[in-house]
Structure 1
Amino acid sequence: MDLEPGQAVPAVPVPLDVEVQVAYDAYLAEEPDLGPMSLEKLSVIRAEVDAAVAALEDLSEGGRFVVSQPSVPGLDGAPEVPLLVCTPSGAAPASRPALYFIHGGGFYCSDHRIGLDQILDTAERFGATLISIGYRLAPEHPYPAQINDAYAGLMWVADHAEELGIDPERIIITGSSAGGGLSAALALYVRDNGGPRLLGQLLIAPLLDDRNDSASALQMDDVELFDRSHNGFAWSSLLGDAQGGADVPQYAAPARATDLTGLPPAFLDVGSAECLRDEILAYADRIWQAGGKAEMHVWPGGIHSFDRKAPEARISRAAVAARCNWIERLLAIN
């Protein structure tokens, strides 16, 4: 290809990992009408989520976990926040670590009781209590409903640590996609407004930047399901007309934070073939520049939530192993 002097090289999409591609093609064959995200599609997605919740039969996973579902006070008189608390049946009776999990779904869908198989396996491996939070959804409940609910739930967990049998000094906040972004925002919020000393933040393909204009957002547009259209819909649901403007708060979009000092150690990962890649890389780089601790993984050929779409793929197994390795090292020194 011959380029004129000064002409930019066109962005070529990153090829998908072979095993991920096979799983993604199979998914597309079952769900051919993907296209841009819309309010009409949102109603269909939410109906599917409701059906999945209704089909839940045994939250204890056949007795693997002791389960409770408290509802805790919302922040400043807001509605109560539902939690799902799952403790491995063979875990220590007290002073357990805790994984405080915030679900994904673009801020606008999903539920705190579904899609927990991977994080439950992780909790069981480390004898940790999993607390999954059900926050209010956008666009009906825009920012700051989500971060307020996440903070209210975390404060209740810390205040009731003895009752829950957990060590309030060993709480790791975690989430994927929108939940990863909310986890990053929660770390900032706790730093600035008080709360438990968080042991770490495990951020899996987090949504961090409402501007949706990075090189990877443009490069990978229309390549996979969660593309620039879906990312933009997520942020417009959360922020409305404020999206992309000058005054978006850091507790909505953590990439807007000007100060990343004083945060708990972070683990971040992302696929090389997803639109969020560059904003996540930039966030990790800024944590390092601020003198913080961050571990960053870019999985070659991975798309958004590749570990969920293709759990048996080699890069999916490697990604899960890397996250567990980080947790193991974090717990070993704390």
Structure 2
Amino acid sequence: MERGGWGVPGLDGELGAVLAGLGGGVREPVTPGNLAARQERDAAGRPRPTVRELRADGRFEVEELRVPRASGGEDVTLVSARPAGIAGPLPLLYYMHGGGMITGNAWSVLPRLLREWALPLGLAVVSVAYRLAPRTRYPGQLEDCYAGLCWASEHAAALGVDADRVVIGGKSAGGGLAAALALFARDRGGPRAIGQLLLCPMLDDRNDSFSAHQMAGVDLWDRTSNATAWQAVLGDRYGAPDVPPYAAPARATDLSGLPPAYIDVGSAETFRDEDVAYAQAIWRAGGRAELHVWPGGFHGFDTFAPEAALSRDAREARTRWLRRVLSA
């Protein structure tokens, strides 16, 4: 397939069929003109599960916590969850949800995290309800995530978690926030994670990679949507040459001293090249990164096609990495 001089990589067969069946509303790019309506539609169409629902008839212990921000103002909400009846401090997955930093919530991601990782790995999860753009600009999202991480580390005993076995992670925008959080904690002398789980992370505000151009108008999250989200996050700083790495980790010039990273991305998605470049930069800095480029995967393919063979392979690879990191 050729489009405007850019060769477009083919989709995995199962994923292509799912993508073709998605409604136009899902595939419509996010623009500054429709952003507010998309946020309203996301909030209405994705009702977040209640704490009672997340407890799943007693299988999990779940509570909402409110912790102070260093900058003052309203507290940050964290959703803490763990398998019920497991004694002793558990390792912790500190997780940031996706949605371009403009949509999504901390509750809706938990059923899958609890089912796929918390139960089989004996893992606690804290999901962060960071503020969304454009109502909150950078550095608000990062401040929320860092405040929650510091609080969880300082109150590990009360949470029943092991402060020395914390993995920070997230998907899409949440993966970008996890990468930024690793940089920020390193430079601030904050809590040190044993790993960073970066799933199709949103890393580069410049939006100018080969894959960003290649997948424009094709991927579910394309160059138009990406530009809209970064402009909402950065405001007047959008497009500036001095955007800090804590806003866009691809801007970082020093990736040394970071926790081992797991990075995965689809071959047919906007973020492919910035994610591959980030893994390469970690290697060049002497760090450890495990990189998976899933052939024929579009952005978020495992969410939209969870039973596809490629989605199952991706989940299994992530679980194997988590198991290795937690047992090291």
For the aligned pair, the TM-score class normalised by the smaller chain equals: over 0.9
1:18 matched to 2:17? The reply is: no
Pick the aligned partner of 2:180 from 177, 185, 200: 185
1:297 matched to 2:301? The reply is: no
Q: Distance in 2 between matches of 1:169 and 1:39?
A: 45
Pick the aligned partner of 2:78 from 80, 83, 102: 83
1:196-245 per-residue CA deviation (whole Å, 9 max, x = no partner) reads 22110000000000000000000111112200011111111111232232
Structure 1's 70 and 304: CA in aligned 2 closer, same or farther, altered over 3 A?
same
Percent identity of the aligned residues? 47
- Give the equivalent residue in structure 2 for 1:176: 171
- Give the equivalent residue in structure 2 for 1:61: 56
Q: Distance in 1 between matches of 2:196 and 2:109?
A: 20
Pick the aligned partner of 1:322 from 307, 314, 317: 317
1:155-212 per-residue CA deviation (whole Å, 9 max, x = no partner) reads 0000000011110010000100000000000000000002222110000000000000
Secondary structure of residue in 2 paired with 1:74: coil
Assess if the C-alpha contact under 8 Å between 1:20 and 1:310 holds in 2: yes
Structure 1's 186 and 54: CA in aligned 2 closer, same or farther, altered over 3 A?
closer
Q: Distance in 1 between matches of 2:143 and 2:33?
A: 24
Q: Distance in 1 between matches of 2:308 and 2:183?
A: 34
Q: Distance in 2 between matches of 1:285 and 1:274?
A: 18
Q: Distance in 1 between matches of 2:72 and 2:297?
A: 42
- Give the equivalent residue in structure 2 for 1:6: none
Pick the aligned partner of 1:307 from 292, 299, 302: 302
Assess if the C-alpha contact under 8 Å between 1:85 and 1:132 holds in 2: yes
Query: What is the CA RMSD across the aligned residues, in angstroms?
Result: 1.7
- Give the equivalent residue in structure 2 for 1:112: 106
Q: Distance in 2 between matches of 1:204 and 1:192?
A: 23
Q: Distance in 2 between matches of 1:163 and 1:257?
A: 35
- Give the equivalent residue in structure 1 for 2:211: 216
Q: CA deviation at 1:130?
A: 0.5
Pick the aligned partner of 2:233 from 238, 247, 250: 238
Q: CA deviation at 1:313?
A: 0.6
User: Runs of 5+ in structure 2 lacking a partner?
Assistant: none
Q: Which amino acid in structure 2 is aligned with residue 254 of structure 1?
A: P
| More moved, 215-224 vs 53-62 | 53-62
Given the two structures, how large is their TM-score scaled by the length of structure 2? 0.94
- Give the equivalent residue in structure 2 for 1:46: 40
- Give the equivalent residue in structure 1 for 2:156: 161
1:71 matched to 2:83? The reply is: no
User: Runs of 5+ in structure 1 lacking a partner?
Assistant: 1-8
Pick the aligned partner of 2:192 from 197, 203, 207: 197
1:145 matched to 2:140? The reply is: yes
Q: Which amino acid in structure 1 is aligned with residue 155 of structure 2?
A: H
Q: Which amino acid in structure 2 is aligned with residue 212 of structure 1?
A: N
Assess if the C-alpha contact under 8 Å between 1:16 and 1:302 holds in 2: yes
Q: Distance in 1 between matches of 2:148 and 2:27?
A: 37
Q: Which amino acid in structure 1 is aligned with residue 175 of structure 2?
A: G
Given the two structures, how large is their TM-score scaled by the length of structure 1? 0.93
Q: Distance in 2 between matches of 1:22 and 1:89?
A: 39
